Structure 1
């Protein structure tokens, strides 16, 4: 069995915080983000964009960027909305959510742009 790793994530060090599965991996590039959006569309989930300040990352509330994109299948449009949110809120974390309307829950959620930490 391999040795367990302690990812030195601490509340008093915002730059070290791990906040979802993908945050343990290197930041996603544009091609990886596109693949995630394609996956959401392929699953028939409704994409949504949310954002929050890095210092409030661990809170349950994130601001919604517009309404969820119900029935949207245009990957380029979804990516453009994520980019617009990031440009409007350059210091915030921006996450992509895929709402599964059959399970009535989030099918996936991942931070695709990381804000500046203090």
Structure 2
């Protein structure tokens, strides 16, 4: 049993949180994938203490039809500047299935 490692208790928010932190290039590639799928990006944020018990706040309206990755990144950064201690996630809404096609936390407030 000595070779069994302890599980480090850390809050997990989505699939990517089990991987090493995404680099800015990896985030850009995920956003490009979302745009290529035709999904509508939306930015949400919330205080870390409220992340599991409450709905997340929407940052502006979803960016319907936005195809420019730099504009999406600029909105993520604007939200981060406004709420530096919040968790900030990007969601890709799929019009066809009327559901989320992609959702991941981009910034983990205060880190």
CA 1:60 to 1:109, structure 2 compared with 1: closer, same or farther past 3 Å? Answer: farther
So what's the TM-score if we normalise by structure 1?
0.85
- List runs of 5+ in structure 1 lacking aligned partners: 10-15
Give the alignment partner of residue 70 of structure 2, picking from 71, 76, 82: 76
| Other-structure match for 1:13 | none
Figure out how many residues of one structure are paired with residues of the other and give that number: 108
CA 1:22 to 1:6, structure 2 compared with 1: closer, same or farther past 3 Å? Answer: farther
How big is the shift at 1:49?
A: 0.4
CA deviation profile, 1:56-90 (whole Å, cap 9, x unmatched): 11124000000000000011000000010011100
CA RMSD of aligned residues (A): 1.8
How big is the shift at 1:106?
A: 0.4
| Runs of 4+ in structure 1 over 3 Å off | 5-9
Give the alignment partner of residue 93 of structure 2, picking from 77, 91, 99: 99
| Other-structure match for 1:23 | 17
Give the alignment partner of residue 45 of structure 2, picking from 51, 54, 66: 51
So what's the TM-score if we normalise by structure 2?
0.90
- List runs of 5+ in structure 2 lacking aligned partners: none
| Other-structure match for 1:110 | 104
Distance 2:7 2:58 in 1: 29
Q: In structure 2, the residue corresponding to 1:80 is in which secondary structure?
A: helix
How big is the shift at 1:8?
A: 3.8
| Other-structure match for 1:32 | 26
